[in-house]
Amino acid sequence: MTSHIASVPAAIRRAAFVLVSVCLALSGLLGAAEAPPANGPLADAAALYDVWAAEQLAYHGIPGVVVGVVSGGKLAWAKGYGTTDLAGGVPLTPSTPFRLGSVSKVFTATAILQLRDAGKLRLDDPVVKHLPWFQVPTPFPDAPPITIEHLLTHTSGLSREAPFPSWTTHTFPTREELKAAMPKVGILSPPGKTYRYSNLGLAILGEVVVAASGETWAGYLSKHVFGPLGMTASTGAPTKEQIATLPRQHRRKQADGSRGTLDYYDTGSFAPAAAVISTLGAP
């Protein structure tokens, strides 16, 4: 989107920072969206985006997108484009729920920092202090232990994924299976030395939340993060009814222009890295 927005006059770009988010967790936090002014920079930007979004959806064969403009800490404007399914579906709106994918990591990190503030952990704690089963072989015997901060900053040296073909099969390990797999997990660099994005690291952080709080990961988020923020449409453990309201998952576009679809899949012990669902606007 950046290359297109760059062509918009600077005054409009400053006035309207468009958050293109199929899955931005702002439910309740920013309140209901208001209609843009009848004229002025925001109205101009909204009109321009209407034209651009419609063209992009048609050209790329995208099912839809929900966008919002935040101004002064409030959701000033939001709108859905397209539908929940290329084969039909219903129109998207700011209250349409989406799976947030990796934005879920933000909430897991928030939980960790809350627990730090509550004195239930320190960021420099070795992970094994909270998870005695976190015994990972290392080729770096003189390296420091992996800490909570290493997991938060993706500098633990852990591989990106656990030793499961989860993103191919869409079958994810249970918590017990994840624990049992630790001897097969590799450390690819000394902790603290190299940035390496790791879904595995966030799955482990979710287990730290459980150990330090005495609550489930999803239960902790509901009680201590989503609840206080008024994010009533947000959850880390969606019910069957909530899952049924999600837009259809589409695969990437193929050379012939087609897009396959996917059924919803449970991310199991990797929920802290990928499972939250939410909406852009209040339900």
Give the pLDDT confidence score for residue 259 in this predicted structure: 86
- Domains within the chain, CATH numbers bracketed: 2-101+233-265 (no CATH), 103-228 (3.40.710.10)
Please report the pLDDT score of residue 268 as a whole number: 96
How far is 110 from 74, CA to CA, in rounded Å?
21
Specify whether the CB–CB gap between 133 and 179 falls below 8 A. yes
pLDDT value at residue 11: 30
Alpha-carbon span 219 to 181, nearest angstrom? 25
Residue 196 has a pLDDT of 96
Q: What is the pLDDT of residue 151?
A: 98
- The pTM score is 0.83
Q: Which of 21, 71, 102, 189 is catalytic?
A: 102
Distance CA 259, CA 256 (A): 9
**How much is the pLDDT for 75?**
84
Angle between helices 199-213 and 104-117 (to 10 degrees): 40
Model confidence pLDDT, tens digit, residues 79-107 = 999 999 988 889 999 999 999 999 999 99
Give pLDDT < 70 ranges for the chain. 1-39, 283
- Establish whether 102 is a catalytic residue: yes
